[in-house]
Amino acid sequence: MPPLSQAPLVRNRSRRGGPRPGSGPKPKGAKAGVSHRTRAATAASYPAHVTVKLQRLLPLLRRPREYATLRKCFAKGCDRMGFRLIHYAVLNEHMHFLVEARDRTALTRGVQGLLIRIAKALNKLWCRKGKVFFDRYHDRILKSTRDVRNVLRYVLQNGKKHAAQGRKVKVPGPIDMYTSAPWFDGFVEVIRVAGLEALVRPVTDARTWMLTEGWRRHGLIGVHELPRTG
């Protein structure tokens, strides 16, 4: 094929039909968000890492009232119709979930149901109407125990990584209290959180071998072990 600048010009004499520059559906927002290609299939034995971003200019999520609202939503939607929320991380403008699902349909419906619940609760808290989340959520199916351990570390320690990088996130203690870390039993260190028994648990138990036992073959996670950059 000749270089683009030397490609021959082909005219459409009929001026009817055919693709045109800029035609087709447009992405949401100023830039394209998550790809609308068909999502990868999943199975009951594979966990998934889900990421969702907030619309711009909304209040920050890492505040006491917002986080209390989110925990209630997590608790109500953590185990429904073949979908299970195992771990989460709440950042200022986005959230990470580590989930299990019976199949792709259960994963899709479970995430959508959880996000609808969260959007309604946050809009009520903020006395507003309208969209809360930006574009579609992103998910990645985890098919190796190494991947599962990496994502566990990423989700539970992401806030500490942001704090170490000087972003608008503070994690004063050994674990990030805006994650499911207080309910995680896979740290090297023994962590005790005062008053934890008084809170409704916002996550449910894992059932897949990869999330219960498999990832542990690569070692428990230390509280000072941060996700890799990039």
For residue 192 the two structure tokens come to 């005790």
d(CA 183, CA 160): 17
Question: pLDDT per position in the chain (230 positions), as tens?
Answer: 333 333 333 344 444 444 444 555 444 444 445 444 545 566 789 999 999 999 999 999 999 999 999 999 999 999 999 999 999 999 999 999 999 999 999 999 999 999 999 999 999 999 999 999 988 899 999 999 999 999 999 999 999 988 887 778 899 999 999 999 999 999 999 999 999 999 999 999 999 999 999 999 999 999 999 997 64
What's the pLDDT score for residue 161? 87
Please give the CATH topology (third level) of the domain spanning 40-218: Alpha-Beta Plaits (3.30.70)
Task: Work out whether strand 79-80 and strand 48-53 pair parallel, antiparallel, or are unpaired.
Answer: unpaired
Question: Residue type at 137?
Answer: Y
For residue 101 the two structure tokens come to 């699902």
CA distances from 176 to 71, 153, 198, 206 (A): 14, 12, 18, 20
d(CA 100, CA 44): 7
* Max Cα-Cα span within the chain: 76
pTM: 0.81
- Taking alpha carbons only, the member of 58, 59, 63, 111 closest to residue 84 is 111
